[in-house]
Amino acid sequence: MKAQARVSGEVSKLVIVNKTEDASQQVADIRNLISAGVNAIVLNPADPNALNGVIKQATDKGIVVVAVDQNVTAPTAYVLSNDQYQYGYLGAKWLFQKLNGTGNVVEMRGAAGAAADTDRHNGFEAALKEFPGIKVVASTFTGWQEATAAQQIQNLLSSGLKIDGVWTSGIDSTVVDAYKTAKKPFVPIVGADNNAFVGDLISLKADGLVGAAVTNPPPVGGAGIALALQILKGQKPADRVIKIQPEVWDNTTADGMAKLQAAYDPKLDPFYGVNFQVPPYTTYTKADLLACKGPGE
């Protein structure tokens, strides 16, 4: 968001509010932004419905509201997000096909109640219906927390449960690390385009790791800034909801390996999302993004 606001040359001030509380805190934050007289609000909603009233207050005052990463149902807001249903569906389908349609699978979800988690699970379930020979032997909520996921997969590996594949909602390299620590043969693993997992898919292929990263670009926030600026200039999209279609980068095909190798950067944080552009919206360079400087900084 900071990089796109800066390179656009159209943003004089970017106010950032970063909270981990629930939707009620977001409502209070949005009210403060309305009072501050902002022109646009780009937000990652905590709930698809709870913000509708305050979003209407904002748009009634002519403020453009763009929700990114997750959906809101407010009819006056725009939504720009990764297609989380397809994230779940494409990754699960790849995994089930890799298992030849039969076997025991673990589903490691995100945070209970989060819209993105629900959408991903629904996509996972849709793929599951196409492969009756696949059995889900365990389903966990990791909360997208590394420590929680590590404990869950360690418990599963020590339980003696037969596991033929693991689908994760982005807690991927944690699962790889657990298999290495337990000195167990790798099973096919699906995760996101996180730097460490992308690196694992490259470096551990020779050790038997088969897997796929499903793209979920975090810079969707930058795309939200670009969209808000377009709308402020009168360039409104035809649809209120815009969904970015995820890709599957696997280490079993030449095309997949090429994308993994092009994306991996050993200098980045392990959980940095390496898919750093959201075309056609974002226009910053990778250097702009890593500099993390907003307008005037």
pLDDT tens digits, one per residue of 70-99: 889 999 999 999 999 999 999 999 999 999
* Residue 118, CA distances (Å) to 63, 70, 131 in order: 29, 10, 20
- Tell me, yes or no, if the two domains 2-83+217-256+276-291 and 95-214 fold the same way: yes
Ranges of each domain in the chain: 2-83+217-256+276-291, 95-214
Angle at Cα 111 formed by Cα 292 and Cα 267, nearest 5°? Answer: 35
Angle at Cα 69 formed by Cα 225 and Cα 106, nearest 5°? Answer: 155
pLDDT at 47: 87
pLDDT band at residue 21 using 50, 70 and 90 as cut-offs:
low
> Which helix H or strand E contains 202, and what residues bound it?
helix 195-203
**What residue has token string 């600026």?**
229
pLDDT tens digits, one per residue of 105-149: 999 999 998 888 999 999 999 999 999 999 999 999 999 999 999
Contact present, 88 and 120 (Cβ < 8 Å): yes
Task: Give the strand pairing for 248-250 and 103-109.
Answer: unpaired
pLDDT tens digits, one per residue of 140-187: 999 999 999 999 999 999 999 999 999 999 999 999 999 999 999 999
Q: Which residues contact 250 (CB under 8 A, 6 or more apart)?
A: 94, 201, 210, 211, 212, 213, 256
Fold designation for 95-214: Rossmann fold (3.40.50)
| Token code pair at residue 178 | 């657990």
Q: Which CATH number fits domain 2-83+217-256+276-291: 3.40.50.2300, 3.40.50.410, 3.30.420.40, 3.40.50.300?
A: 3.40.50.2300
